[in-house]
Chain A
């Protein structure tokens, strides 16, 4: 199978002509062609396949990774335009243990294809829990912030509830707290 080029063998064919840039991915320095979409660098070159590609156009959030701590669509981010260290779910999973457990308990994933992107985004929100909790409509705020992550299975109900629960627990510094999946509909409308 020497004819096959895949994963770690070589980057894209013609990409060799473009200059290489250095990225820091999950704490490790790697080189990638500047024009190559970050999602392909992660998946094909580094075998970091937690990051999914469902549209390739920056429209669905399955490819969400953190760049300098900010959720970013890796499928439309050229490696040359990455402005900071990259974190993928592989590196965030331990930090996100409470989120992952809450997702599992609440039914916040079904097929699981969008889940890495959801968890990466939620991890970024959880780091800012103090700032987010305390507003008058946490579920509404979470829904607005998570609206770049499409899920076709769950109807977002359990995802929202899980993220809210973890944010509240983190903000309280406690291990348990009230769940807040159901907004008061009258409030939500106003």
Chain B
């Protein structure tokens, strides 16, 4: 059989699915120290003094390194001079929050982290620009001396391609606009990890490091350590995702190596998730101003762009990311001309890096949005418009690409058929979706290379094949399989070329000593470059074997199949040929070869058009979305991703790349964005970084448009990067189609949609603050924040106060964790000062940020009486230690809406551990507070509330916010108030009963006396006739509510409502009852519109939103509309 083209399992599936595959942090050998990195807390500061002597003296500390441990003035090579600008550890200046300042190796991770606190750094903080616009403003601090003549412009690229004059004249319909693709994180599941082992005798260092490109790691580490390239020896280890981020150094490898050299012992450096989000190099943010014109036939005539690319604080691959992005204007379509100016702008934020798609998704968002807008103006179907503008095959594009085959047209047709485009378009046009939800269809196309000639030798790949005397084969290549399936397709290729069983092929990758030269798995080069070199090596080895067999068997022709060489005169096992070769060494015959690509051009100065790649991949993606006009929530219902990949070497792996890339693109389209405040990332956790969970995504349907490209290998093109390019515009176009608003800045979160719809409908809210003196003080403070108050509180006020996280130079003592078996013991422990907890899932995380965490934690989960749910007098008595999962299972049908609320909380795993009491008592919701900002609530009254001027769109209060804008996160605390639930509290032997509404006296703050605990919750079970509904708007499945609404009412047979409860969550510091609306509804027969009118009036009267979260009022009113509809339908 032919393995190439077949759906074979990953060759290492057995080990990977048994959990036996070792990633760097799983290695137990060699034994090692643990490292931790001290990072800058400031976006820009001079380092006045750096003293590590106290840290060095601490017990357990084996090495501390600073810039003094590296040659003076040395920087990462990256793209080469003049843009090599980043030192391995800060040299006198820090230029972004998170920049590495020093690093420690110690016996335990706790000792290493504690030692960081013993390092004394005196910073002189300086203002510096945090956005490209600020960086280009007059008087902005220059972050570096650059060679361009504009301040803070690291690199500028201008070009004019084709016939701009003609295009300008002929393009009679013009659209123009600004588009923003945000900074998003790769979020590889494996954090960057390196185990380094220095060998003093040989002056070499071995690295087990999570990388896509061992060669580049060796290049940077050897340069920075001042040792030869081959003294850095990478070893094979599993890599948990790369997506481009690991195609160059991730700035921790050399720290591990330098620490190992200094300590004389192996060192493991494993970055935390917060470091991954907050310090590593995300996608470059692009601000694209684009003007596109077309003629009356729908033919594109001219692209004219002015682009700002946020470089961040240091230059990594920004120059080529920007270049590849701009190429979008001259690659896929065939306008008469394209013209652009693009600037790579330095800002004091985390630097951008390499990310799947490499600039193309950013510019594609603008191009593909405008193609749709032009289609709309010209009255053309957007899919048809693209079909009219396809670039031709076997021709050179405006940007200089020599295109071989292109099946983009077939991809578009596949989308049309797959989505039932024409029929659905008609249905959408006639409003078939109906109600508050609108549906829309969107399409976007894309193009990407298969490898890029970006460096010297990037047109070369070497590979080796070993044949062993027992007949098994080993492929050796110097690249790395970070999850793309590369090792499997290489094995497929070798098996085919040598006619052996796939099970008899193993693959060795990454190893610097045992694999030949290869630059690595980046720029979609895996399939073309390494696939070609392995194929060539196997073919050439096959030639040797055929010759040996012909000699032995006395004639030919010889074919290789089933592990044997077969001639008309006889056959022989391949392994038996090893001993017959003069080239064999022992029981192995090896062959190494070098594949050199012809016909591509290396990026060089003085030119602006290059044929970078041997072959180009294409794709068209189509999305069917549902837009909830009430809440702004966009849901992708169906998604077809059709790809021209040439021939798929392993269709299952190709479909995996398509679906995975599309999902990642959908994440950026709908939720993902690194949000910063003062240059510091405020959402460096999975909790706050809204990436898609399983339930957030539709069924993504990959379509492989089968083709064959002569450039090969085996007819194949690339696939891994292509799939992330179209989703942004496909979704934006579908949203435009659904509700008529064009969102030009990703992610398309509910705030943007609701705000645009309000504008479209001419809705505005008036809160009449002038006649609400109770709000004047808060309004004044908020008004003063941007005029210096924030600055003063941030720079000076935060120096006072409790602090954040543990203090002291020794590891904090772990808490004593008690789980007594009876209530009296719990109460006694709490009376002695222990912190009561349930499953501890919130408390254990939260204590990391506390300056004085409780030394004793006492859990209620060991108390049988607190783990029971009993029925009594028409109510459920729910013990505080009942888990959320147990609660959900125990709820009767009358409380189905409570079960809905429970199911929306966190994840099933958390619901299995987290308790009812713990949920009610969990810490406030605010990404500044939870992520360790020295804020008003965390640090004390002299500190600012970062939400006032920071990003408060989703999490913060719109009603009753005072100095703190946080809200109570508990969905249970909200939904149960609509049932008039009560809590029973216990202190000593005394119990008291409190309405749940009175439990909270602040955001996530309980009105408990010292030593008091929540014993159980009394949940009245509604009698027949009482109805309820819970609705929640969240950024992903399991997120805290951005807004929630619970409505309950007793409904008479004639439809009259009584005892209405309307409780809003995440709107105010504590769950908020719309009591005026409740009263007004008493005894009426409500309509959805009527409730909305009443509620809007009440919200307008009470709300005091921050500048960016007023939209939540519309969203929560929309949720109430949904809930009322539910009640009317029950």
Contacts and interface: CB of A to CB of B under 8 A. Distances in A.
A174 interface: no
Interface in A81-125: 81, 83, 88-90, 93, 96, 100, 103-107, 109-116, 119, 121
Interface string A150-164: 111111111110000
Contacts of B157: none
Interface string B617-658: 000000010100000000101100000000000001101100
Interface in B108-140: 108, 110-111
Q: Which of B189, B696, B700, B1037 has the most CB of A within 10 A?
A: B189
A162 B94 CA distance: 48
B813 A14 contact: yes
B107 A3 contact: yes
Nearest to A69: B912
A126 interface: no
B57 interface: no
Given A112-B16, A185-B637, A185-B699, A144 B903 contact: yes
A157 B699 contact: yes
B483 A73 contact: no
Contacts of B700: 155, 157
Contacts of A145: 908
B483 A56 contact: no
Interface stretch (B408-416, B685-693, B1072-1080): B685-693
Interface band, chain A: 35 or more
B907 A55 contact: no
Interface in A64-79: 64, 67, 70-73, 76-79
A139 B699 contact: yes
B816 A34 contact: yes
B652 A93 contact: no
A166 interface: no
B815 interface: yes
Contacts of A93: 17-19
A34 B844 CA distance: 13
B434 to A, nearest CB: 12
A167 B21 CA distance: 26
A150 to B, nearest CB: 6
Given A81-B861, A111-B189, A185 B624 contact: yes
A14 B811 contact: yes
Interface string A30-64: 00011111000001000101111111111111101
Contacts of A59: 685-687, 907
Contact of B9 (A19, A58, A105, A157): A105
Interface stretch (B233-241, B514-522, B549-557): B233-241
Given A14-B814, A77-B840, A89-B19, A4 B265 contact: yes
B190 interface: yes
B659 A80 contact: no
B691 A18 contact: no
Contacts of A76: 840-841, 844-845, 913
B1024 interface: no
B765 interface: no
Given A14-B811, A72-B912, A152-B187, A6 B32 contact: yes
Contacts of A36: 814
A79 to B, nearest CB: 8
A146 interface: yes
B820 to A, nearest CB: 11
Contacts of B1108: none
Contacts of A88: 19
Nearest to A144: B695
Interface in A160-190: 160, 181-183, 185-186, 188-189
B241 A71 contact: no
Contact of B108 (A5, A49, A153): A5
Contact of B656 (A79, A110, A182): A110
B262 interface: no
A103 to B, nearest CB: 6
B1130 interface: no
A156 to B, nearest CB: 4
Interface stretch (B22-30, B201-209, B390-398): B22-30
Contacts, number: 303
A144 B21 CA distance: 28
B991 interface: no
Interface in B1-56: 7, 9-10, 13-14, 16-23, 25-26, 28, 30-33
Contact of B189 (A5, A89, A142, A151): A151
B545 to A, nearest CB: 31
A181 B857 CA distance: 44
B531 interface: no
A127 interface: no
B568 to A, nearest CB: 39
Given A71-B908, A112-B240, A144-B695, A54 B19 contact: no
Contacts of A13: 60, 107-108, 110-111, 811
Contacts of A15: 814
Contact of A56 (B19, B272, B662, B909): B272
B189 A152 contact: yes
B815 A50 contact: no
A71 B841 CA distance: 14
B818 A80 contact: yes
Contacts of B841: 58, 73, 76-77
Q: Which of A90, A115, A140, A142 has the most CB of B within 10 A?
A: A115
A110 B16 CA distance: 10
Q: Which of B7, B188, B265, B699 has the most CB of A within 10 A?
A: B699
Q: Which of A59, A139, A144, A155 has the most CB of B within 10 A?
A: A155
B31 A1 contact: yes
A7 B28 contact: yes
Q: Which of A56, A144, A148 has the most CB of B within 10 A?
A: A148
A100 B18 contact: yes
B719 to A, nearest CB: 12
Contacts of B32: 4, 6
B913 A148 contact: no
B695 A81 contact: no
Contacts of A147: 693-696, 907-908, 1037-1038
Nearest to A37: B844
Given A110-B485, A152-B243, A35 B816 contact: yes
B945 interface: no
B350 interface: no
Given A47-B28, A149-B694, A154 B685 contact: no
A6 B16 CA distance: 24
Contacts of A1: 30-31, 265
A34 B816 CA distance: 7
A152 B697 contact: no
Contact of B484 (A17, A34, A110): A110
B1002 interface: no
B882 to A, nearest CB: 13
Given A12-B108, A140-B695, A189 B816 contact: no
A148 B909 contact: yes
B26 A49 contact: yes
Contacts of B814: 12, 14-15, 17-18, 33, 35-36
A105 B694 contact: no
B910 interface: yes
A58 B909 contact: yes
Contact of A100 (B7, B17, B243, B885): B17
Contacts of A47: 28
B635 to A, nearest CB: 7
Q: Ordered nearest first, which 6 A-B pairs have the shortest CB separation?
A: A50-B19, A148-B907, A111-B483, A155-B663, A113-B240, A185-B638
11 contacts: A50-B19, A51-B19, A58-B909, A59-B685, A73-B841, A77-B840, A80-B817, A89-B18, A104-B9, A111-B190, A160-B699
Given A119-B17, A188-B699, 10 more contacts: A1-B31, A35-B815, A51-B19, A52-B190, A59-B685, A71-B908, A112-B483, A143-B695, A150-B693, A152-B187
